[in-house]
Structure 1
Amino acid sequence: MTVFSGNIKKMSVDVNDDNVAQYQLNVGDNVLNMNDVIGKHISINYQATINCVHCGRKTKKSFNQGYCYPCLTKLAQCDTCIIKPEKCHYDQGTCREPAWGEKNCLQSHFVYLSNTGNAKVGITRFVTDGVSSRWIDQGASQAIPILRVQNRLMSGLVETALKSQIADKTNWRKMLQGDAEPIDLIALKNTLLETAAPELTELQNQFGIQALAEVESEIINIGYPVDTYPTKIKSINLDKELGFEGKLQGIKGQYLLLDNDRVINVRKYSGYHLDIQIN
């Protein structure tokens, strides 16, 4: 039996040589390789303590997946434009943290298509060695970058132009039901770019020809360490249950999949102080 105790953050992700997602969970000062826990019995208990993932302040309620209320209202990374990048207001001189915005928002981004049980469009800052951590966080089984844009504002404007034709949200329940049926994302890309050509040309006329550029890429396939998928999903709420236990049957997205069809979104409980026991 091994016991870990401390505040958690969302699982960090990577892929191995076979493009299978690899997960690590930070628990206080410890790092758990969660792929090694699959097939084992896990017990998690919430100690009714939450600390802000940014400033460490104790808070009764977590906002925006791990922040205290003061940080929610002050940090640029918690501003509305992070969720809706087309509302970026840096050029208006009203960015909450201009230095943070310059480092994170005034950099090139990718617009992508992915398959999370259904086709969706999204944006990501990094595509490292061909794979974005965002794709893994969303449980995408396939993904492809389609456009590279000059900054976060542009990524939001392009996404807005495309999402009239395609979803920009993940249906997490469908994503957890099993392996998604393959989608020809290259054909979908060509269709979307052709249909949205007038809007994209208008953006180039407004912001410059180099504001966006098409990316040539093959479809990237991503696997997940899942022995058994749930048949009827039952979501665990730590604020109500305070704890749970069971056999870990897999991990997909930021979800732990347990026996008896129970699942928990680890990212939702960033900043929570947990006791984790593994047998």
Structure 2
Amino acid sequence: MATVYSGALRKMRTKADTNNNVVYQLPIGEHTLDINPLIGQKVSLTFTGEIHCVHCARKTKKSFNQGYCYPCLISLAQCDSCIIKPEKCHYHEGTCREPEWGEEHCFSDHFVYLANTGTVKVGITRHVTDAVSSRWMDQGATQATVMLRVPDRLTSGVVETFCKSYIADKTNWRTMLKGAPESVDLNAVKQELLAKISDDLNAEKQEKGLQAVSEVEGPIFDIHYPVEEYPVKIKSINLDKTPAFEGVLKGVKGQYWLLDEDRVINIRKYAGYQVELAL
């Protein structure tokens, strides 16, 4: 007899064990399921047709920004365009949608990092100390290292913009899912990139102070995902077009489930979708 779990999907929670193996949990309704033990087993998921906003729980016909209703999309600070492009932060102009939210999330140390997600990319995160960042795991990075520390989100976006002239800032999800990429000497990439943007960094320090940007001497993390088999020719499942599927779970990487027959589904994309998951 299959066990059925029902409720709203949320993005998978990630943590890394002592060997930097990624451990996944799936929130679904009131349940939190351990996903790693399900690899190699048959799963069945059905979208019931209802979507509820992950912030206000309002029923919505369409989900925006991975789980929000339209009113929340246009009113919440966490849905503003500066979340995607932090260099466009407008708090200092007095136009932040939610100043208290901005003060809590945007005015603390941020880190500019390099990650190997199939190709090397630059990114920013708040959550880096001496452990694997959840952001790296969400992006399916197999290697990552911190490059710079800055005091706020705006500065992180400005510095990231300097880097984007020389290196990508996006993850190609298809490349990320095609297998474990070859190892890259991230330290060499880091030093080369720092040399290229040194004039820009010095100008930023002159404008905002010497502590505005500082180099971080951190380790390179090798990150391992629970994957038995990667897809050869990727076929993406869209719950809006295919509301039900079943198959053998072959692995998890980033926020994707890898299934048999080369099928994949981005779980995070369907946050707020009401589903039934049978195991």
TM-score relative to the length of structure 2: 0.99
Name 2:186's counterpart in structure 1. 185
Instruction: Give distance in 1, aligned partners of 2:209 and 2:78.
Output: 27
Indicate whether 1:105 and 2:103 are aligned.
Answer: no
Name 1:4's counterpart in structure 2. 5
Name 2:147's counterpart in structure 1. 146
Instruction: Give distance in 1, aligned partners of 2:37 and 2:153.
Output: 36
Alignment of 1:162-173 (within 5 A): 162-173=163-174
- Once the two structures are superposed, residues 200-248 of structure 1 have per-residue CA deviations (whole angstroms, 9 ceiling, x without a partner) of 1111111111111000012100000000000000000000011110000
Deviation, 1:108, is 0.8
Instruction: Give distance in 2, aligned partners of 1:211 and 1:98.
Output: 22
Name 1:215's counterpart in structure 2. 216
* 5+ residue gaps, structure 1: none
3-state DSSP of counterpart to 2:140? coil
CA distance 1:32–1:129, shift in 2 (3 Å): farther
Name 1:67's counterpart in structure 2. 68
Amino acid at match of 2:175: K
Instruction: Give distance in 1, aligned partners of 2:15 and 2:55.
Output: 23
Name 1:96's counterpart in structure 2. 97
3-state DSSP of counterpart to 1:36? helix
Instruction: Give distance in 2, aligned partners of 1:218 and 1:77.
Output: 30
Deviation, 1:128, is 4.8
Instruction: Give distance in 2, aligned partners of 1:86 and 1:17.
Output: 35
Q: CA RMSD in A?
A: 0.6
Deviation, 1:16, is 1.1
Name 2:128's counterpart in structure 1. 127
3-state DSSP of counterpart to 2:14? strand
Deviation, 1:18, is 1.2
Deviation, 1:129, is 4.1
- Once the two structures are superposed, residues 232-274 of structure 1 have per-residue CA deviations (whole angstroms, 9 ceiling, x without a partner) of 0000000001111000000000000000000000000000001
3-state DSSP of counterpart to 1:32? strand
Moved over 2 A (4+): none
TM-score relative to the length of structure 1: 0.99
Amino acid at match of 1:112: Y
3-state DSSP of counterpart to 1:239? coil
Deviation, 1:152, is 0.2
